[in-house]
């Protein structure tokens, strides 16, 4: 057996260096679900484009039908892989990564994003110069059409209709919005750079949303705790959009409607809730049904009513999802 003796001075130096390292560390967290090649493209993108040296990469496999982790551990030895045997949803998968992340900052990114050079350095600089910021998102463009904007910020929520707008979406990026760097309504769930000190005060994402609205609800928690949500338009990431869920599906229709109502139940005041409920039942529901009939998606009608029924029969913190999740 080999014994190594370290004197008190060397131990103090080692601890000092370790603390400095952790103060510089950025934890990149992403979640995979049945799209292994997409996650591999992201990891290859980080290898190719990342220029910040002090990072840890955490990948959560969210109950994929075939476990990719053993193979990944060989291909990407620099990455920490965690396998969940069940699909925990967007919030649950990210929360699993957040719990083990050691960085001063956490960068939660969708697995269908692509890195650009200098993005982490830029986001760190903005965070360090603005202590009130809790969550920061970069500019997002569509990967398939890289000149087209997806996100340069969100407007605030209208609690009477549960609607807000994504600024700049589908426009050609001529830097026309770059002056908007600063406070915005909400971060974008595809790319959220988070101050860990703020996160520790706010807590994790609410997992009972499962999919959609969880990051908006989380932003509200940050605001209520005294932090601001910002967008940094000098930082850029590309997004492939809707890889995991698809453009339209029963799953998406259910959780978009269920969680829209749930978000208002959790965050609006009594007057706002009353007006929203009337708006949803008298305007949104008939309009959606007409759309489903016109598009011959007749099965979505029952999905809509299932989403409404869940909110009538479950408390806001209920963990019952009300929809079968394929594992």
Walk along the chain (327 residues) and give the pLDDT tens digit of each residue: 444 456 655 544 445 444 555 678 999 999 999 999 999 999 999 999 999 999 999 999 999 999 999 999 999 999 999 999 999 999 999 999 999 999 999 999 999 999 999 999 999 999 999 999 999 999 999 999 999 999 999 999 999 999 999 999 999 999 999 999 999 999 999 999 999 999 999 999 999 999 999 999 999 999 999 999 999 999 999 999 754 445 679 999 999 999 999 999 999 999 999 999 999 999 999 999 999 999 999 999 999 999 999 999 999 999 999 999 875
The sign one gets for the Cα dihedral 149, 154, 159, 160 is negative
Q: Which residues contact 159 (CB under 8 A, 6 or more apart)?
A: 264, 267, 268, 269, 272, 276
Q: Give φ, ψ of 257 to 5 degrees.
A: -75, -45
CATH of domain 11-239: 3.90.550.10
Q: Give φ, ψ of 98 to 5 degrees.
A: -60, -40
Interatomic CA distance for residues 218 and 317, integer angstroms = 14
3-state secondary structure (DSSP) of residue 165? coil
Domains of the chain, residue spans: 11-239, 250-313
Look up tokens 């407007």; give the residue: 155
Q: Which residues contact 143 (CB under 8 A, 6 or more apart)?
A: 112, 113, 114, 238, 239, 240, 241
pLDDT at 325: 82
Residue 212 Cα to chain centre, angstroms: 9
């Amino acid at each position: 057996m080999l014994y190594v003796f370290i004197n008190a001075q060397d131990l103090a130096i080692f601890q000092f260096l370790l603390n400095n390292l952790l103060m510089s560390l950025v934890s990149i967290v992403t979640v995979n679900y049945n799209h292994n090649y997409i996650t591999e493209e992201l990891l290859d993108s980080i290898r190719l484009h990342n220029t910040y040296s002090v990072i840890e990469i955490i990948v959560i496999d969210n109950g994929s039908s075939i476990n990719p982790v053993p193979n990944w551990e060989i291909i990407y030895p620099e990455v920490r892989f965690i396998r969940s045997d069940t699909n925990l949803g967007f919030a649950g998968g990210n929360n699993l990564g957040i719990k083990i992340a050691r960085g001063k900052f956490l960068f939660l990114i969708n697995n269908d994003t692509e890195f650009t050079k200098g993005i982490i350095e830029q986001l760190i600089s903005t965070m360090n110069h603005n202590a009130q910021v809790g969550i920061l998102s970069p500019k997002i463009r569509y990967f398939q059409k890289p000149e087209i904007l997806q996100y340069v910020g969100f407007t605030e929520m209208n609690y009477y209709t549960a609607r807000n707008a994504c600024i700049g979406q589908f426009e050609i990026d001529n830097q026309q919005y770059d002056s908007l760097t600063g406070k915005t309504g909400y971060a974008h769930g595809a790319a959220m750079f988070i101050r860990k000190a703020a996160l520790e005060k706010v807590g994790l994402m609410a997992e009972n949303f499962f999919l959609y609205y969880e990051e908006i609800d989380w932003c509200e928690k940050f605001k209520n705790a005294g932090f601001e949500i910002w967008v940094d338009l000098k930082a850029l990431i590309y997004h492939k959009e809707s890889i995991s869920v698809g453009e339209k599906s029963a799953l998406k229709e259910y959780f978009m409607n269920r969680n829209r109502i749930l978000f208002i139940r959790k965050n609006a005041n009594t007057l706002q809730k009353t007006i929203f409920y009337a708006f949803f039942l008298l305007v949104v529901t008939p309009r959606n049904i007409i759309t489903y009939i016109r598009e011959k998606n007749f099965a979505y009608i029952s999905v809509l009513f299932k989403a409404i029924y869940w909110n009538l029969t479950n408390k806001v913190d209920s963990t019952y999802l009300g929809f079968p999740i394929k594992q």
